[in-house]
């Protein structure tokens, strides 16, 4: 899990605290639940999709890059 900091309006903070108390959850659980509903879960996507899309971006590069890397960075 990644730890982050966000700024939210006072009224939204108060409503989130209230929702957490009503649902017997803590503040961060309410935020994660809300984010999951808005953004969706990324675990459902195909594994390796990002890596495959990055590999596709490199299709048009030089074919002999490993042999000429010293020439490129001189």
pLDDT digits (tens, 9 = 90+) for 47-69: 666 676 666 666 666 677 677 76
Report which of 9, 4, 26, 8 is spatially closest to residue 17, judged by C-alpha positions. Answer: 26
Neighbours of 30 (CB within 10 A): 19
Report which of 6, 38, 32 is spatially closest to residue 19, judged by C-alpha positions. Answer: 32
Does position 22 have pLDDT exceeding 60, yes or no? yes
Query: Could you state, in order of their start, the residue ranges of all structural domains in the chain?
Result: 10-72
In whole numbers, what is the pLDDT of the chain averaged over residues?
82
Report which of 6, 57, 61, 56 is spatially closest to residue 34, judged by C-alpha positions. Answer: 6
Query: The tokens 């899990």 sit on which residue?
Result: 1
């Amino acid at each position: 899990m990644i730890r982050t900091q966000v700024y939210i309006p006072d009224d939204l903070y108060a409503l989130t605290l209230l929702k957490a108390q009503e649902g017997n959850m803590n503040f961060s659980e309410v935020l994660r639940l809300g984010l999951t509903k808005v953004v969706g879960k990324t675990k459902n996507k195909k594994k390796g999709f990002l890596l495959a899309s990055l590999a596709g971006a490199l299709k048009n590069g030089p074919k002999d890059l490993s042999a000429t890397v010293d020439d490129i960075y001189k």
